[in-house]
Amino acid sequence: MDIKTVYLGLNLRNPIVIGSSGLTDSPDKIKRLEDNNAGAVVLKSLFEEQINAETHRTVNGGINDYPEAYEYIEKYTRHKVLEDYLNLIAESKDSVEIPVIASINCVDDEEWTSFAKDIEEAGADALELNISVLPSDPFKDGKDIEDMHFKITEKVKKTVSIPLSVKISYYSAGLAKLIYNLSASGNVRGITLFNRFYNPDIDIETLKITSSNVFSTPDEYTLPLRWVALLSGKVDADLAATTGIHNGISTAKQILAGASAVHIVSAIYKNGFEYIGEIIKEFENVMINHNFATVKDMKGKLSFHNMNYNRAYERIQFMKYFGGIT
């Protein structure tokens, strides 16, 4: 049985990618993830604001122009963050064989985009751009928000030759078209569906705003499943599924829907690094039970495209199931 997959043009020994998070913020953890059989890792994101501040500092002539101690410390700290990130890439690449994918969390196409070149030079195998825009402004047009995805990816694509992937959220009125156009732009090789935002909640005792669960639950996997299934085979990009994938069975479902890989985070936080082995075992059992010799045989078998446009993936009403419940 062959569980290898190709993702972003990279050869992965299995489709389990450990997603961007605190699990991937040190070379030591990345080595442990490799020892526990991860297929690849996406490093913890660097934030656009951190890079922009550093760019401004360089453009303005350096820290000597800022005599105030506070500013000095602030700039020094930011500079250190960038240096640390490049070291994280370089040191991780030195200590593991699996692909190391860097990540930038961005909302705009400002000067930070030139930093992508440093990331490439530090040795990253690919770069994931986590475009984190919440369409929360009632005066901002949806099209402007979607256009930003193209501005960012186009600008970064001009600075690097490593494969680019874009991690998007599901907040889009024209989600299928957005994904299709991103793949058709030729700027990105992969699309990660979907970024999981923290949601606010209200504590009913204290009437204070709190944050809801930081970690996903195992039933959330159906959100990316639908969109991977609807779009795989139709878009010319590798799709990675993320959110709610907690075991080998939901991994197998995403591959059957057409994903090239899955990004897993919460399940590893909850169960430890050794749990990767269990996910893989369970995934292999699905392959054995259904006589799939390779991931390639399995990939997209149950996509919308391959299921003769089975409308189940488009169904959104529960009438058929709950029509009789009063």
Using CB under 6 A as the criterion, which residues of the chain lie in contact with ligand FMN when the complex forms?
19-22, 44-45, 103, 105, 130, 167, 195-196, 214-216, 242-245, 263-267
**197 and 44 Cβ atoms separated by less than 8 Å:** no
Alpha-carbon separation of residue 90 from 72, 83, 84, 94 (angstroms): 27, 11, 10, 6
| Nearest to ligand FMN of 5, 292 (CB atom) | 5
| Nearest to ligand FMN of 248, 292 (CB atom) | 248
| Nearest to ligand FMN of 30, 292 (CB atom) | 30
Q: How far is the CB of 84 from ligand FMN (least distance, A)?
A: 14
| Nearest to ligand FMN of 44, 292 (CB atom) | 44
Q: How far is the CB of 105 from ligand FMN (least distance, A)?
A: 6
Cα–Cα distance for residue pair 270/248, rounded to 1 Å: 15
Cα–Cα distance for residue pair 194/231, rounded to 1 Å: 13
| Nearest to ligand FMN of 165, 187 (CB atom) | 165
Token pair of 279 as six digits: 């996910």
Q: How far is the CB of 192 from ligand FMN (least distance, A)?
A: 7
Q: How far is the CB of 212 from ligand FMN (least distance, A)?
A: 12
**152 and 110 Cβ atoms separated by less than 8 Å:** no
40's enclosing H/E stretch is: strand 40-42
| Nearest to ligand FMN of 244, 300 (CB atom) | 244
Alpha-carbon separation of residue 174 from 56, 87, 180, 262 (angstroms): 35, 39, 10, 23
Helix 222-231 to helix 248-257 angle (10° resolution) is 20
Q: How far is the CB of 10 from ligand FMN (least distance, A)?
A: 18
